[in-house]
Amino acid sequence: MKALKIVGCLLLGMNLVTCCTPKQEARRPISHASGEFMKQSIERNKKLNESEESIIEAIIKKDTAVDYISSTKGYWYFYHKKNDGALVKPAKGDVAFFDYEIKDLKGNIIYSQNELKPQRYLVDKQNIMIGLSDGIKLMRKGEKVTFLFPSHMAFGYHGDNNKIGTNKPLMCTVTLNDIKPENEIKIE
């Protein structure tokens, strides 16, 4: 009983102490985001994109031997070999077999076709270069196409951690060798 009275007095005392102390205001953050960094980043990316597009447009203007096609995704391409007889284009659920090489916009080879070896791509289920992923879906079996990708459609700000640095627009020449449904292919 005596212990109960002591515990009760302690609880009453603690309650009085906590109620009587002045209320503290929550600490405010030392800094706050103004959105300025994002605005600067957006402006920087717009300028970079405009610069890359003007370089690509100059290449297209200079190269009158071929007809460049502008994609809805922001890159350009032309056919070396077109296959109008084939109807099927790679779609989700297909496996595309292709060869390609990567050059800079001056035509210097960064990765040769031999270095990159024949590729097998599970359409829309595997991570590859954004522009290449989209470009392959425009092709038919047996076609050979050269794509001009601005850096945001290639490896972007990060590069490939090897030969391709940050913000590098690229030229990729792709040959689509075959298209097969995924369920017909044994995937390791």
| 67 phi, psi to nearest 5 deg | -100, 110
What is the identity of the amino acid at 15?
N
What is the C-alpha separation between 81 and 36, in angstroms, rounded?
A: 48
- Give the position of tokens 């913000």: 167
pLDDT of the residue at 25: 72
Q: How far is CA 48 from CA 60, 88, 91, 164, 170, in A?
A: 18, 36, 32, 17, 14
Distance CA 143, CA 102 (A): 17
Q: What pLDDT sits at residue 185?
A: 78
Q: How far apart are CA 180 and CA 120, in angstroms?
A: 10
Kindly write down the DSSP assignment for every residue of 111-134, as one continuous string. Answer: E-HHHH--EEEETTTS---HHHHH
- Give the closest residue to 159 by CA, choosing from 170, 148, 145: 170
Instruction: State pLDDT tens for residues 6-33.
Output: 756 666 666 655 655 566 677 776 666 6
Q: With CA atoms as reference, report the closest residue to 164 among 107, 114, 102.
A: 102
One digit per residue, the tens of pLDDT, for the chain of length 188 reads 666 667 566 666 666 556 555 666 777 766 666 788 888 888 999 999 999 999 999 999 999 999 999 999 999 999 999 999 888 999 998 999 999 999 999 999 999 999 999 999 999 999 999 999 999 999 999 999 999 999 999 999 888 999 999 999 999 999 999 999 988 876 55
Can you tell me the distance from the alpha carbon of 102 to that of 97, in angstroms, rounded to the nearest whole number? 17
Quote the pLDDT of residue 37.
84
> CA-CA distance, 59 to 4, in Å (whole number)?
90
- pTM value > 0.85: no
Looking at residue 22, its pLDDT comes to 62
Beta bridge partners of 97: 120, 178
The Cα 85–Cα 67 span in angstroms is: 20
**pLDDT, tens digit, 9 for 90 and up, residues 153-162:** 999 988 899 9
Helix intervals (H) in 21-84: 36-62
CA 64 → CA 55, 67, 173, distances in Å? 15, 7, 18
What pLDDT, on the 0 to 100 scale, is given for residue 132? 96
